[in-house]
Structure 1
Amino acid sequence: LQPFFKNTIVPLDTDGRPDSTYFSKDCFHFSERGHADMATALWNNMLEPVGQKQTYNNFTNARNNLKCPTEEHPYIFTKGNSFPSVTTTTSDCSGSVPAWLAAVLAIVGLLIGWVITWTVFFCRDKTSKRKMMTSSLGIKETTF
Structure 2
Amino acid sequence: MQELKKLNWNLQSGVSELSYWHRYVEREDFAVTVQPFFRNTFFPLNERGGLDLSFFSEDCFHFSERGHAEMAMALWNNMLEPVGWKTSSSNFIYNRTKLKCPSPESPFLYTLRNSQLLPRKAEEPSSALSWAVPVAAIGGLGVGILGMMLWKMVKPIKRDEEEEDTLPNTSVTQDAASEKRLKAEA
TM-score range, shorter chain: 0.5 to 0.7
Does 2:63 align with 1:30?
yes
Following TM superposition, by how much is the alpha carbon of 1:73 offset from its aligned partner in structure 2, in angstroms?
A: 0.3
Tell me how far 1:11 sits from its aligned partner. Answer: 2.0
1:51-62 aligned at under 5 Å gives the runs 51-62=84-95
Q: How many residues align?
A: 90
TM-score (norm 1): 0.57
> Mind listing any 5+ residue stretches in structure 1 that lack a counterpart?
89-142
Q: Does residue 1:44 correspond to 2:83, yes or no?
A: no
- Report the equivalent of 2:40: 7
Query: In percent, how many aligned pairs have the same letter?
Result: 54
Greater fraction of residues in helix: 2
Q: How far 1:28 moved relative to its partner?
A: 0.8
User: What stretches of structure 1 move > 3 A for 4+ residues in a row?
Assistant: 84-88
The whole-number CA distance in structure 2 between the counterparts of 1:8 and 1:68 is 22
For structure 2, the 5+ residue unaligned runs are 1-33, 122-184
Deviation at 1:58, TM superposition (A): 1.2
Map Cα deviations across residues 2-24 of structure 1 (whole Å, 9 max, x no partner): 10000001221122111111100
CA distance in 1, matches of 2:46, 2:118: 45
The one of 58, 74, 77 equivalent to 2:110 is: 77
